[in-house]
Chain A
Amino acid sequence: MESLVKNDLITRPDISSGRVIKSVNTPDTLSTTKRLKRSHRHIRAENVFRRILIIVGWATVVLVAGIMVTLIFQSTLSIKASGFGYLWGKTWDPVRDIFGVYPFLLGTLLTSFLALLISIPFSFAVAIFLGEYYPTGWVSNLLKNTVELIAAVPSVIYGFWGLAVLVPIVRSFESKIGVEPVGLGIFTSSLILAIMIVPYAASLGRSMIQMVPSTLKEAAYSLGATRWEVIRSVVLPYTKSGMFAGIMLSLGRALGETMAVTMVIGNTSLIPKNIFAPGNTMASVIANEFTEADHPVYLSALIELGLVLFVVTVLINMVGKRLIKGFSKE
């Protein structure tokens, strides 16, 4: 042990003076040795800590790969039974073993993108208000915490609220514009989703806006720009990629949201005729039918549905990353 300490540490340069410690044969040999032992222990702790980080880091990769493999493995029965028809098939009839996910794929994409469209003005408004107009103060804190609380409310509560409040409102709106007044459907789900996803884009957008260098904003002000002109010409171009990343985060949340959507979408396997019609999303089909899947092909078809949802989410994320990269290169 002693020799190891010597070999390892005696020739380490003394960081504070830049000199190399040559010998331990100084009057206070004991305390020097003690010190060296302690720093040896620190180095060992450092190595252990690094290993833990590596293991945990790789564990996440293994986990995601594991989920993917499980999904593929469990779907093989359905893939063999339905082939590619599974993706384009317009009928979902478990009784006759006909599985086509097209209506649910459409449902998922429709609700998610519609929700995104509705939520963007709100997320941008909140981000700009909190990032640029009122970055500090109690009004700002109240609004910031409230918006972040939106993300913390359990989604089943949104479902209840949607059924109790939103569905009647949408129903009366639908009877006014002359479509079948169901209340439940794609549009209602999108409204609920829009509320649920606002905090993601808003929080990221806010922190991005606060990071815009004040020198750039001042340059614009000094040229006679108004606040709105500064936001439009300096702040937004500078935060473009961050804002977009926030939107992607929101979209990811919307694609996977299950409970609230299941409660207000109407749960039909028909292809929605318009955005007010009832429909279903991939996630809500899985949630609704998993307990009813009474034969292996049905179960496997539901798992394949999960696989499709997984792949769609990954694809959209990849496209998003590409776009963000393109933005930041500009």
Chain B
Amino acid sequence: MESTIVKAVNYNAYFGDNHVVKNVNIEIPRNNVVAVMGPSGCGKTTFLRGINRMHELIPGATSTGQIFLNNEDVYEMHPIFVRLKIGMVFQRPNPFPNLSIYDNVIAGYKLNGIKLPKAEKDKIVEQSLTRVALWNEVKDSLTKKGSFLSGGQQQRLCIARAVAMEPEVLLFDEPTSALDPISTSTVEELFHELKKNYTLIIVTHNMQQAARVSDKTAFFYMGELVEYDETKQMFTNPSDIRTQNYITGRFS
């Protein structure tokens, strides 16, 4: 199996005339955790949303260039299939408030009208919740509404919801920025577990988090991919002066 799973080639993204992501070329290896960091407004989230074609849902948003998933251009595929193969977790936990914990986990199947036998659904729910280390906490309250959980639990429920669809890649858009420190460390520990089965791309503006959880780090600044390297290399010996300024806190 080839080691590169996601590849961007000359990828540009726009909001109307506003050029937010500028000519990004990047290769993301399979079963790695890649952190995307950079100051606010640097285009990191927009780039992330370009990977699973969420960017184009915003009125006026366009993009050029290519993004490959296993050598297949996602912009040639139907967006529905792209999003089934590339799951996403958002900045704020967003479980469906009208659904139970159980139904939240299999929401993807329900939304897509896929009917499964009860036994299989049970299996998917247990497996997904186990993968995000939530099963033991909620196994007795699966019929309760997802919104009753704490913020950290809700976020893990959202990860379980994405994992349940068996994607190949998981995108995280500042997944811990709305969480308390303890929940944050639980989610960070999860990343190490999840990368056995999935490839993780995590947008964060928290440098320490990038350093803690990732194998490789990409630094975005003003819409450009400034530097992309092994995380250790990046934080100890950055090659670009802007990266150095950023990680030493000279601007944020």
A contact set with B: CB distance below 8 Å: 136, 213, 215-216, 218-226, 229-230, 233-234, 237-238, 330
B residues less than 8 Å from A225 (CB atoms):
80, 108, 111-112
B contact set with A: CB distance below 8 Å: 52, 54, 57, 59, 80-81, 83-84, 87-88, 90, 92, 94-98, 107-108, 110-113, 158, 161-162, 165
A238 and B98 contacting across the interface, CB-CB below 8 Å: yes
Q: Count of A-B contacts with CB under 8 A? A: 66
* Given A218-B94, A238-B98; A233-B110 close (CB under 8 Å): yes
B residues less than 8 Å from A215 (CB atoms):
90, 92, 94
B residues less than 8 Å from A216 (CB atoms):
94, 96-97
A residues less than 8 Å from B111 (CB atoms):
220, 223-225, 229-230, 233
Q: List 15 A-B contacts (CB under 8 A).
A: A215-B92, A216-B97, A219-B90, A220-B96, A220-B107, A221-B83, A222-B54, A222-B162, A223-B111, A223-B112, A225-B80, A225-B108, A225-B112, A230-B111, A234-B96
In the bound assembly, the distance between CA atoms of A226 and B112 in angstroms comes to 8
In the bound assembly, the distance between CA atoms of A221 and B79 in angstroms comes to 9
B residues less than 8 Å from A221 (CB atoms):
54, 57, 83
Q: Considering only CB atoms, which chain A residue lies closest to B58 in the complex?
A: A214
- 10 A-B pairs with the lowest CB-CB distances in the bound complex, closest first: A223-B108, A222-B88, A224-B84, A225-B111, A215-B94, A224-B83, A219-B94, A224-B80, A229-B111, A237-B98
Return A243 CB to nearest CB of chain B, in Å.
Answer: 14
A residues less than 8 Å from B80 (CB atoms):
224-226
Return B42 CB to nearest CB of chain A, in Å.
Answer: 21
When the two chains form the complex, which single residue of B59, B81, B92 contacts A224, counting CB atoms closer than 8 Å?
B81
A residues less than 8 Å from B162 (CB atoms):
222-223
Return A246 CB to nearest CB of chain B, in Å.
Answer: 19
* Given A136-B59, A229-B112; A222-B87 close (CB under 8 Å): yes
* Given A224-B165, A229-B113, A234-B96; A218-B54 close (CB under 8 Å): yes
Central interface residue in A216, A218, A219, A238, by most chain B CB within 10 Å: A219
When the two chains form the complex, which single residue of B81, B96, B112 contacts A219, counting CB atoms closer than 8 Å?
B96
B residues less than 8 Å from A237 (CB atoms):
98
Q: Considering only CB atoms, which chain B residue lies closest to A220 in the complex?
A: B111
A218 and B90 contacting across the interface, CB-CB below 8 Å: yes
B residues less than 8 Å from A136 (CB atoms):
59
A223 and B59 contacting across the interface, CB-CB below 8 Å: no
In the bound assembly, the distance between CA atoms of A237 and B110 in angstroms comes to 14
Q: Considering only CB atoms, which chain B residue lies closest to A227 in the complex?
A: B57
Q: Considering only CB atoms, which chain B residue lies closest to A136 in the complex?
A: B59
In the bound assembly, the distance between CA atoms of A237 and B92 in angstroms comes to 21
Return B147 CB to nearest CB of chain A, in Å.
Answer: 11
A residues less than 8 Å from B88 (CB atoms):
222
* Given A229-B111, A233-B110; A219-B54 close (CB under 8 Å): no
In the bound assembly, the distance between CA atoms of A42 and B104 in angstroms comes to 53
A residues less than 8 Å from B113 (CB atoms):
229
A residues less than 8 Å from B161 (CB atoms):
219, 223
Given known contacts A220-B111, A222-B162, A224-B80, what 11 new A-B pairs fall within 8 Å (CB)?
A: A136-B59, A218-B57, A219-B95, A219-B161, A222-B54, A222-B83, A223-B84, A223-B107, A225-B108, A226-B80, A238-B98
Q: Considering only CB atoms, which chain B residue lies closest to A229 in the complex?
A: B111
In the bound assembly, the distance between CA atoms of A219 and B87 in angstroms comes to 10
Q: Considering only CB atoms, which chain A residue lies closest to B158 in the complex?
A: A219
Return B197 CB to nearest CB of chain A, in Å.
Answer: 18
Return B198 CB to nearest CB of chain A, in Å.
Answer: 15
A224 and B112 contacting across the interface, CB-CB below 8 Å: yes
In the bound assembly, the distance between CA atoms of A213 and B88 in angstroms comes to 17
Return A247 CB to nearest CB of chain B, in Å.
Answer: 19
In the bound assembly, the distance between CA atoms of A330 and B99 in angstroms comes to 10
A223 and B83 contacting across the interface, CB-CB below 8 Å: yes
